[in-house]
Amino acid sequence: MRDEMERRWKAQDWQLIAPTPRAPAENLALDEVLTVRVGSGERKPTLRFWGWSRQAVILGRFQSARNEINADVAAEHDIDVVRRISGGGAMFVEPDGAITYSIYVPDDFVQGMSFADSYEMFDHWVIDALGELGVNAWYQPLNDITSDAGKIGGAAQARRGGAVLHHTTMAYQMTTSLLGQVLRVGEEKLSDKGIRSAERRVGPLRNQTALERDDIIYHLIGHFRSRFGLADDSLTDDELAEMQRLVESQFSTREWTYFLP
């Protein structure tokens, strides 16, 4: 299976979109735009690293805004509240606090795999690349990357018209205590974790590597490039225009963000 997966990774003509700081709603809209375009064949399989221009809470597709967010804390600290197209849990992101990437690939890439198995497959290269930096990380079902020093990150997927979107966010550093204030974590959610604290054990990559955020990102890019091949690419004017339309019609609207209030 491992050989077959390596073959599938190498069989794609991967394109790289390097990180550029963008508003949270723009990042979410780009995931929709690029997934659909990879599905239709207009764009080749792509690895995109995100840049963050603002702090934000990103809700999962099926989460209740009220249940997950302290709205008064978000308003007081000028935190954007947005909703992504993939399921999973809410995350709080500060511009230099996280490393996020999206992978867009035609769905024959995951042919014959269960959804659960595909989560592991999409992040396997990152776990290897982190190992090269001395981080002992592993995949923890269903959608987490964890390590000796605590949880590093989580992944989520969406599927659109013949393509899979897999995006992963990893903690780089925690500079404020806003996370525990803006996100609500109920007792029930922690009921099978054996802990009662809202502050889950997290192992940010800065603590584990002592590297700058960009150095880690470019190490991940270098690992991917030498292993699977990766051509430098950029977003087209047409893609950026469509992103902007979707920001205005969907991702910055209350109707979308609060469709599950």
Sites of contact with another protein (CB under 8 A): 60-64, 67, 85-90, 115-116, 141-143, 156-159, 186, 188-192, 260
| Residue closer to another protein (CB basis): 77 or 189 | 189
Least distance (Å) from another protein to the CB of residue 188? 4
Q: What share of the chain is helix, strand, coil (3-state, %, to 5)?
A: 40, 25, 35
DSSP E strands, the chain: 15-17, 21-22, 46-49, 51-52, 56-59, 80-83, 91-93, 98-106, 137-140, 144-147, 150-160, 163-171, 231-233
Q: Which residues does 11 contact at the CB level (< 8 Å), separation at least 6?
A: none
Least distance (Å) from another protein to the CB of residue 114? 9
Look at residue 51 and give its three-state secondary structure. Answer: strand
Peptide bond connecting 142 to the previous residue in cis, omega within 30 degrees of 0: yes
- Cβ atoms within 10 A of the Cβ of 224, count? 20
Least distance (Å) from another protein to the CB of residue 68? 8
Least distance (Å) from another protein to the CB of residue 84? 11
| Residue closer to another protein (CB basis): 3 or 192 | 192
| Residue closer to another protein (CB basis): 34 or 130 | 34
Where do we find the tokens 């909703």? Answer: 83
| Residue closer to another protein (CB basis): 34 or 164 | 164
What residues are paired with 151 via a beta bridge?
146, 202
Dihedral of CA 69/243/86/152: which sign?
negative
Least distance (Å) from another protein to the CB of residue 47? 22
What tokens appear for 203 in the block?
A: 């192992």
Least distance (Å) from another protein to the CB of residue 51? 25
